[in-house]
Amino acid sequence: MAVKKTLVAVAMMAAALCGTMASPALAATSGSERFILFGGGDSQTVVATGAFFGTGQSFPIDEDNDLFVFADGTFHVNHPQTGGHDSFNDVACIGTSTFSGTYSLSQGTGAYAGISG
């Protein structure tokens, strides 16, 4: 029996009004942010694009909350799911879940101190 490995990609959209972003020398930034998560279990790789860019790790706190850890700081993401869909490709052995909802960012440290939205 073959063991299947599953890569779960979760795309989350968040409208973020971001305080200090990727570098303390940058002015305050606001705009939409997209988070793409790869993996499963106790941590996932997260890629952030939009008002700021970065690659880090996402650590689940509970069903609706994660801690995002980047090289230059951290922040909490509250992500109650209100919609979305799942798909699985048997040939490639890849599952994809897309979630939608109103998310909030808070409790930033480092470059993300003051993040909100």
Predicted pLDDT of residue 23: 40
H helices within 4-64, ranges in order?
Answer: none
The predicted-structure confidence for 31-51, as pLDDT tens digits, reads as follows: 888 889 888 778 899 999 998
Opening angle at CA 111, ends 41 and 114, nearest 5: 95
Q: Contact at 8 Å (CB) between 101 and 83? A: yes
Tell me which DSSP letter residue 16 carries: E
- Cα-based angle 4, 9, 11 (whole degrees, multiple of 5): 165
Q: Are 106 and 78 in contact (CB under 8 A)?
A: yes
- What confidence tens digit (pLDDT) does each residue in 61-95 have? 998 999 999 999 999 999 998 888 899 999 998 88
pTM exceeding the 0.95 threshold for the entire prediction: no
Q: What is the pLDDT of residue 24?
A: 39
| Band (28; pLDDT cuts 50, 70, 90) | low
SS3 107: coil
Which tokens go with 90?
Answer: 């048997």
